[in-house]
Structure 1
Amino acid sequence: MDPPSTKSWSIHTRKEITNKYEIFNRIGAGAYSDVYKARRRSDSVTVALKEVHDYQSAFREIEALQTLQHCPNVVVLHEYFWREDEDAVLVLEYLPTDLGCVIREAKKWENGLSLGEIKRWMVQILCGVDACHRNSIVHRDLKPSNLLISDDGVLKLADFGQARILLAPGFVANDNQQPYVQSSPYQPTMAGPSHFKHISDASSDGGLFMEDPVSLVQAARVGESEEHRFRSFDDTDKDSNIQDGDTSCLATGTMSNVEEDLLPGTYSYDVDDGEHDNFPPLTSCVGTRWYRAPELLYGSTSYGPEIDLWSLGCIFAELLRLEPLFPGNADIDQLGRILNVLGNLTEEVWPGCADLPDYKIISFGKVEKPIGLEACLPNRSTDEILLIKKLLCFDPAGRATAMELLHDKYLNEDPLPVPPSELRIPSKHSSDQDEDSLDELSGCRDPNSDSDFDDFGPTKVSTTEHGFSIQFS
């Protein structure tokens, strides 16, 4: 039987999948992925089948999940299916809800989330992010709907379609890299070498599948030293933010342009033995706007894991207030909201910020009296506000790491984090559309559109040595 000339766009037609899984209803969808609830026929285990319609996104997600396979706070990839004429289908553990749903439900509870619950959610998120960063992975799209939760209260990072594996100068790919294992919430350790069974078999209809998958590429692990700065080894990064709403993994996918000849089995990260200053840039248009770091909003293409730390600050503030901290409706509005709270962005608070690509193009009127995080977090303790401030600072170098926060005073004093079994979990994943509407969470603005400038009042455009400047009053 000849393979179809075009993609089927449906896992229901693929016998190598339907022979192993009974597929039920679709439970999530993004612009470039669909997620189905399914049952594994061999043992009746419920799984999520994520069909990804974009090569680059699928490569990134598979690579990241395999690297993080031993981390208890990252969603499990059981296996995946891929062949040249079809989309990748990832078989993921099924997780019925997410942190966004918990926050929405908590608004209805008489006293909201308890301190013990908030701390447990924070600890689990930090453990997952710490595992990513210790393995040189930047998630790039952390938000409540991408933090999935099991029935027994275990939170897991999901949707790695925008993730990047970054390597530090001087580190090279290592085929004997040891996977990360979280031995306790506070003490990460390294496990022994992993042993996988790699099966590559042609099914009756020409399909190819991988079971107990071995990593496509082994990336170097970044050490503890602060002088190791992450740099990219992948030159295929494209603008990949999409209108993904609140669909989670239950998950979403991303879309970017990939060369036509980039097929499964040919994707790799080339380690440059030469000058490390010549690595291709990243894209600034990643992540969901409400959780996007200022350096991304100003167009930076030379960022690192610090962008995830900013997202953590936004998520933790949302846990404390049960409302998004910076719900911008456009990129300019997003920046304006941040500046109104934190104050003006200057060389004094962030040395080098004037070198950001858009810093001299877009300017705001001086904020005489910033609102401050204290006003945004009324009735919260000094330690809670200090925790958020350690993440939401303009200078990326000043943001606390996930491991530093795991040892923070706030998380290690009474009331202590409750056991996961004591967390209140919504009965099922909410199908209601979150306040984060598709329009509000849409990604990169069209450079030929002025939609970002609507409803912002008078603007002043002037010619400068750099081209032009737009000032918002």
Structure 2
Amino acid sequence: MLMRMDRRTLSPSTPNSRAMDKYEQLALVGEGSYGVVLKCKRRDTGELVAIKKFLETEDDAAVRKMALREIRMLKKLRHDHLVNMIEVFRRKRRFYLVFEYLEHTLLDELEASPGGLGEDSAKKHLYQLLKGIDYCHQNSLCDLGFARALAAPGEPYTEYVATRWYRAPELLVADHRYGPEVDIWAIGCLFAEMLTGDPLFPGDSDIDQLALIIKTV
């Protein structure tokens, strides 16, 4: 789940197969297993947006299930400290998700400050992260890396859900019953990284990750 640092104006949702025509593609800003993220500009207003384009079509059952789950959750969320979704549409049987565009991220700041951000700056970022994740938890969402709905008591989740360095111990031992606590763990790891400039638990594997945690705590 992406966090944001300021509020932007949201455009109305327009679920139209030709909706992509109103955007000019500027650059590729990221890619993953299931899609790419494009920096685009609205032709009529000049507003910059980030558009996530799924690589596979909705004919792929797994992709369709994942995309619809993500869309349902994102439609529920509107908060100052989240990157909000503006609209969603289909084109050539692929899903496109339009988000607010951020000029820079926390990762950019960490890369620009290898010795850490300083205590005051780290605390400001921590406050915003906690406000954003608290809102997600209030809306029954957990796991920053996978953004999934909270299960009923006793209901299992899938095992692999977050970047290893920020994964809570219960995820590393394949415990399928976890909750909002995994997000607090991840934020704690990130806060330490903001203060020092170095990852707190940079494990090379799940076993190494657990060993680093045990050694530290």
* Fold match (TM-score > 0.5): yes
Identify the residue that residue 317 of structure 1 maps to in structure 2. 192
Identify the residue that residue 38 of structure 1 maps to in structure 2. 40
Identify the residue that residue 118 of structure 2 maps to in structure 1. 114
Secondary structure class of the residue paired with 2:18: helix
Could you tell me whether the CA contact under 8 Å between 2:17 and 2:90 is conserved in 1? Answer: no
Aligned counterparts of 2:102 and 2:90: Cα–Cα separation in 1? 23
Aligned counterparts of 1:287 and 1:113: Cα–Cα separation in 2? 24
Identify the residue that residue 86 of structure 2 maps to in structure 1. 78
Secondary structure class of the residue paired with 1:91: strand
Shift of 1:55: 2.3
Aligned counterparts of 1:79 and 1:18: Cα–Cα separation in 2? 11
Q: After superposition, what is the alpha-carbon deviation per residue over 1:106-140, rounded to whole angstroms, capped at 9, x for unaligned?
A: 127xxx52322111111111110110111111034
Q: Structure 1: any 5+ residue segments left out of the alignment?
A: 1-13, 142-161, 167-230, 233-275, 343-473
Identify the residue that residue 19 of structure 1 maps to in structure 2. 21
Q: Calculate percent identity across the aligned residue pairs.
A: 41
Tell me if 1:303 matches 2:171. Answer: no
Whichever residue aligns with residue 305 of structure 1, its letter is P
Identify the residue that residue 163 of structure 1 maps to in structure 2. 147
1:4-15 aligned within 5 A:
none
Identify the residue that residue 102 of structure 2 maps to in structure 1. 95
1:373-384 aligned within 5 A:
none
Q: After superposition, what is the alpha-carbon deviation per residue over 1:14-64, rounded to whole angstroms, capped at 9, x for unaligned?
A: 971442111122111112110111111221111111112432332232222
Secondary structure class of the residue paired with 1:79: strand
Secondary structure class of the residue paired with 2:128: helix
Aligned counterparts of 2:109 and 2:66: Cα–Cα separation in 1? 27
Aligned counterparts of 1:61 and 1:319: Cα–Cα separation in 2? 28
Could you tell me whether the CA contact under 8 Å between 2:17 and 2:89 is conserved in 1? Answer: no
Aligned counterparts of 2:65 and 2:212: Cα–Cα separation in 1? 33
Given candidates 291, 312, 321, the residue that maps to 2:166 is 291
Tell me if 1:66 matches 2:66. Answer: no
Aligned counterparts of 2:216 and 2:168: Cα–Cα separation in 1? 14
Identify the residue that residue 126 of structure 1 maps to in structure 2. 130
Taking structure 2 as the reference length, the TM-score comes to 0.83
Calculate the aligned-residue CA RMSD, in Å. Answer: 1.9
Q: After superposition, what is the alpha-carbon deviation per residue over 1:61-105, rounded to whole angstroms, capped at 9, x for unaligned?
A: 222222112x1011121101126x622100111112211221121
Which has more helix, going by share of residues?
2
Q: After superposition, what is the alpha-carbon deviation per residue over 1:352-380, rounded to whole angstroms, capped at 9, x for unaligned?
A: xxxxxxxxxxxxxxxxxxxxxxxxxxxxx
Whichever residue aligns with residue 48 of structure 1, its letter is A
Q: Which runs of 4+ in 1 moved over 3 A?
A: none
Q: After superposition, what is the alpha-carbon deviation per residue over 1:236-279, rounded to whole angstroms, capped at 9, x for unaligned?
A: xxxxxxxxxxxxxxxxxxxxxxxxxxxxxxxxxxxxxxxx65x4
Secondary structure class of the residue paired with 1:132: helix
Q: Structure 2: any 5+ residue segments left out of the alignment?
A: 1-15, 56-62
Whichever residue aligns with residue 131 of structure 2, its letter is C
